Amino acid sequence: MEFEFYYIAMACIFGLFMAWGIGANDVANAMGTSVGSGAITIKQAVIIAAIFEFAGAFLAGGQVTKTIRKGIVDAELLSGTPELLVFGMLAALLAAGIWLLVASRHGWPVSTTHSIVGAIVGFAAVGIGMDAVKWGKVGSIVMSWVISPAIAGIISYWLFRSVQKFILNTDDPLGNAKRYVPIYIFLAGFIMALVTMFKGLKHVGLDLTTGQSYSLAVLIGLIVMFIGIYFIRKLDIDPNADREFHFANVEKVFAVLMVVTACGMAFAHGSNDVANAIGPVAAVISIVDSGGQISQKSVLPAWVLLLGGGGIVAGLLMYGRRVIATVGKHITDLTPSRGFACELSAATTVVLASGTGLPISTTHTLVGAVLGVGLARGIGALNMNVVRTIFLSWIVTLPAGAIMSILFFFTLKGMFG
């Protein structure tokens, strides 16, 4: 193939831009509820996200990448013209990156998965032919966008109901918070650890049996729980604070739990959404390296995961604040006890999806979870205007990605074809 150097250079630049967009827009999903509920500051959120997003992308990001890379377009049709797939993947990255930049400027929490899938479907359907798109696969991805917010909403609804039953609606909410919150902390640590063992560590060279994975997950859950208990004991409990807001001290206990779920959510998000940026990059590199062969399976170079993780962190640092405000403050009034239910349910849904290789939308999942908690308090607790704007931005995302991707595809084809 000619222009090999240019293809790889563009793949890296566009992939980095897309990862930057994920950081600017999507990391808000991991951190919005923590910041909105007052459990952590923006500065702390950025530090937590930087560490755990990067770890999730690097340690557990390999599984979903395969779905984005070879699941949507029928590679067999392109075996004679591999450069078309290269142009398409480059166009998809650039289109999705630009749309994320626009959405982040306006503070809309859109789906990066939507953006990249819409872009890939757009160039394939118009640039190659309707047959090139595996519509069955696209259908299952679209289904997952409906199912994931529903699952997260149901889990967060019942989680928050359990908080109301065991802690908030009792005679001694503070005592019960100290008793039950460590159990929730264990649950958060256990779920995150378990999914990482099962799905994430294959490409790092760690292959654990089921028994070993469960044992290690229990151990990590217990360690996280004891760290949580230590911090709960160090809390400054002020009886006077409860006069103004009955649960002021209880929420302090939940704030400790929120830090744990924020770390877990950031890890889960990094593992699921890094694929959106590096899947197309990996496809381009594998085609160029093999001299134009479109292989069904290609090794994912570690430096590509590093590129994706680094781009996500940079986007969050430079531009993440706007969407954090929308998710954390504008949908419903969040406190640490409500925010915890949102984050743990969303993280659980995301890591389950990462495990099955379904590229679900973290945004949809988290917004679904926030809606679930709002509903647990009654429909009046939701700001329906903001909810409407978010839903509209979701609908626009697919065609926006597709149209731009088609334009860029023909531009690249004209330049290099």
Domain assignment present for 64: yes
Domain assignment present for 96: yes
Q: What is the torsion angle, in degrees rounded to the nearest 10, for the CA atoms of residue 240, residue 242, residue 245 and residue 251?
A: 120
pLDDT, position 277: 83
pLDDT, position 408: 95
Please state, in angstroms and as integers, the Cα–Cα distance from residue 406 to each residue in 39, 88, 147, 236, 315, following that order.
Answer: 43, 8, 29, 58, 25
Q: Which CB contacts under 8 angstroms, 24+ apart, belong to 163-169?
A: 163/337, 163/340, 163/341, 164/376, 167/250, 167/337, 168/247, 168/250, 168/337
Domain assignment present for 241: no
Domain assignment present for 194: no
Domain assignment present for 21: yes
Domain assignment present for 279: yes
CA dihedral over 321, 326, 330, 331, signed as positive or negative: negative
Q: How far is CA 149 from the centre of its chain?
A: 13
CB 31 within 8 A of CB 262: yes
With b for 16 or more beta-carbon neighbours within 10 A and e for fewer, the 306-326 pattern comes to: ebbbbbbbbbbbebbbbbbbb
Domain that holds residue 36: 4-164+256-416
Domain assignment present for 120: yes
Residue 185: CB atoms within 10 Å: 27
CA distance 139 to 393: 20
Domain assignment present for 305: yes
CA nearest neighbour of 143 among 359, 400, 346: 359
CA distance 358 to 408: 27
Assign residue 280 a region: left if phi > 0, alpha if psi is -120 to 50, beta otherwise? alpha
Per-residue pLDDT of the chain (417 residues; tens, 9 = 90+): 678 888 999 999 999 999 999 888 877 766 777 777 777 887 888 788 888 888 887 776 666 555 555 578 877 777 778 888 889 889 999 999 999 999 888 878 788 888 888 898 998 898 888 888 888 888 887 787 788 888 899 999 999 899 989 998 888 888 999 999 999 999 888 877 776 676 555 555 667 777 888 899 899 999 999 999 998 898 888 877 777 667 788 888 888 888 887 887 788 778 777 777 888 888 888 888 877 776 655 566 778 888 888 888 888 888 877 777 776 666 667 788 888 888 888 878 877 776 676 767 777 888 888 888 888 777 767 777 877 887 888 788 888 999 999 999 999 999 987
**What does the mean pLDDT of the chain come to?**
82
Number of domains in the chain: 1
CA distance 117 to 397: 10
pLDDT, position 205: 61
pLDDT > 90: percent of the chain: 18
Burial class (CB in 10 A: 0-12, 13-18, 19+), 13: middle
User: What is the end-to-end Cα distance of the chain in Å, rounded?
Assistant: 11
pTM above 0.85, yes or no: no
Segment holding 88, helix H or strand E: helix 82-106
Residue 364, φ and ψ in degrees, nearest 5: -60, -40
* pLDDT tens, position by position, 311-336: 888 888 888 777 777 766 666 677 88
